[in-house]
Amino acid sequence: APTGPVYTPPIERRRGYAGALTATLSNELRNGGAKLMLYTDAGNPTSNGVYQKIGYVKLAENERVSFVQQL
C-alpha cells in the first residue's frame, strides 16, 4: 500500500506528528496483513531517526533514477 510523502510544516516540527502518523498508519496496515517497506532519503537524519524510533530498521540503500522524454 503506497503512502506518502510525509511532510510537517517547519512551525509544527519536533512535536511527534510525523512519527505518530507513520506509526499509526503502519500498525493499521500491518494489522490488515500488509507487508511494509518504507523508502526514505538516506541523507535526511531527522526522518531516518523518526523511522528508527518507531521500529523500522535499515534493510538496504537504493539509488533512484528518473527519466523524462524530451519533446
Give Cα 30 distance to the centre of its chain.
15
Bigger pLDDT: 42 vs 1: 42
Closest CA to 56 of 8, 29, 13, 10: 29
For residue range 21-45, list pLDDT tens digits in order: 999 999 999 999 999 988 888 899 9
14 secondary structure, DSSP code:
T
d(CA 18, CA 6): 7
d(CA 1, CA 24): 14
Query: Is the entire prediction scored with pTM above 0.85?
Result: no
pLDDT at 1: 64
pLDDT at 13: 93
| C-beta separation of 27 from 8 below 8 A | no
